Structure 1
């Protein structure tokens, strides 16, 4: 029996190193199934667009910063999801990438009439979410036909919920199941901060990359100086090059 095809959607703005790593690791771990990679670019100026245009399995969607009305990343992700060709959607951050052969079998292939959402389960307490956890949109798997109905990425309850949290609330309220993959710390890659990067469901997530590229002072303040380009981003890139044997 053929494995279901997937549309893998990500949003990027610069960060070519991580976007390229995502594309190459998807190719390595996608297995024997049809797939497409949709990259929604929000105005990269670091050569990302040129590299992406040369990839035969990548569809580049341009989404300029001037189009943003609210949460730009979520709006860009929605653009990519609407452009998808396949029913099964993998929404993944551009600073994340698969590291295990079974990452799709454990998520995409588990979706059915009962299970409508899968991915990385983030534990947090927000006033608008009674569950104390939600599937974080850095790695979220769902059906395209559920998008903007059960699966909503925008903040519908203001600061009472986080982006993507509404999806978990709605899916559970509708009586469906969610497949949760716990987030663990990728201790072998710990640089600059003890709790990032992370692993969940066979997916590695660096965290902070886009914000470090565009607002490093704010991230440094939030993390008491532990996450900076010098203490976190550059050492992490070097570690990834070493572990994956990258020549770039």
Structure 2
């Protein structure tokens, strides 16, 4: 058996119990024989998320109130989890994402080396502060804990000129290191009628929009011209996932 890198898997939650629980369960199903820990940083969930996470033996729950993360919310919360990690390799994954293939870590975190310092899902977009036109999106991002704070920076240091986590790609490439990034592709298996989401990248499924639909649905509806709502997207995708994984919650 190859020497599998131990990993600390970090995710940020704020309600969304269904997807957060599914993430933990699918990690267990696809983690293999490597050493791992799951760190959940919760930003004040009002549903069953905190209770369920606190009962899991392989989950460390960190409670980080929403009011403490006004400026860099998701990024600042993720930082709390990374700092608490026991293992040298970090897998940052969104709470509405989950692994769907056995090789999800082989293609990502196991590729990290002295030259490759960042791996994950490649998001293509043009932002003023990023000359590359793409970056590793933090819904699935792998790196060495030792690089956190130097090469790896999650906060929007350039304001709205970059997105959360985008600074990491800029820094890694700027320092002369390599990135192994995988395209984000449409996930037909769990399609519910939207032409672009959900997606899959490097063996990781991502629903998108879940937390925002929980807390700012009107904004999502406006941004998507009504294409993404709880009724048209969130509920149907939960139904498909329940059927696929034979879930009773």
Question: Structure 1-normalised TM-score?
Answer: 0.98
The whole-number CA distance in structure 1 between the counterparts of 2:122 and 2:231 is 29
Q: Is 1:43–1:63's contact at 8 Å kept on the other side of the alignment?
A: yes
**Could you report, residue by residue, the CA deviation over 1:201-242 in whole angstroms, capped at 9, with x for unpaired residues?**
000000000000001011001001110000000000000011
1:29 aligns to 2:30 (yes or no): yes
Mapping for residues 88-127 of structure 1, pairs under 5 Å: 88-127=89-128
The whole-number CA distance in structure 2 between the counterparts of 1:226 and 1:188 is 19
**Could you report, residue by residue, the CA deviation over 1:155-209 in whole angstroms, capped at 9, with x for unpaired residues?**
1112211111100000000000000110000122222421010000000000000
Aligned length: 248
Provide the secondary structure at the position in 2 that maps to 1:180: strand
Report what 1:162 is aligned to: 163
Provide the secondary structure at the position in 2 that maps to 1:141: strand
Mapping for residues 1-248 of structure 1, pairs under 5 Å: 1-248=2-249
After TM superposition, give the deviation of residue 69 of structure 1 in Å. 4.0
After TM superposition, give the deviation of residue 78 of structure 1 in Å. 0.4
The whole-number CA distance in structure 1 between the counterparts of 2:159 and 2:3 is 42
The whole-number CA distance in structure 2 between the counterparts of 1:15 and 1:157 is 29
The whole-number CA distance in structure 2 between the counterparts of 1:142 and 1:95 is 20
Provide the secondary structure at the position in 1 that maps to 2:114: coil
Q: Is 1:220–1:227's contact at 8 Å kept on the other side of the alignment?
A: yes
Q: Is 1:192–1:226's contact at 8 Å kept on the other side of the alignment?
A: no
The whole-number CA distance in structure 2 between the counterparts of 1:162 and 1:81 is 19
**Could you report, residue by residue, the CA deviation over 1:51-85 in whole angstroms, capped at 9, with x for unpaired residues?**
01111100000000121241211100000000000
User: Gapped runs of 5+ residues in structure 1?
Assistant: none
The whole-number CA distance in structure 1 between the counterparts of 2:210 and 2:193 is 13
Provide the secondary structure at the position in 1 that maps to 2:87: coil
Q: Is 1:7–1:38's contact at 8 Å kept on the other side of the alignment?
A: yes
Provide the secondary structure at the position in 1 that maps to 2:60: strand
The whole-number CA distance in structure 1 between the counterparts of 2:68 and 2:241 is 34
Question: Structure 2-normalised TM-score?
Answer: 0.98
User: Gapped runs of 5+ residues in structure 2?
Assistant: none
Provide the secondary structure at the position in 2 that maps to 1:170: helix
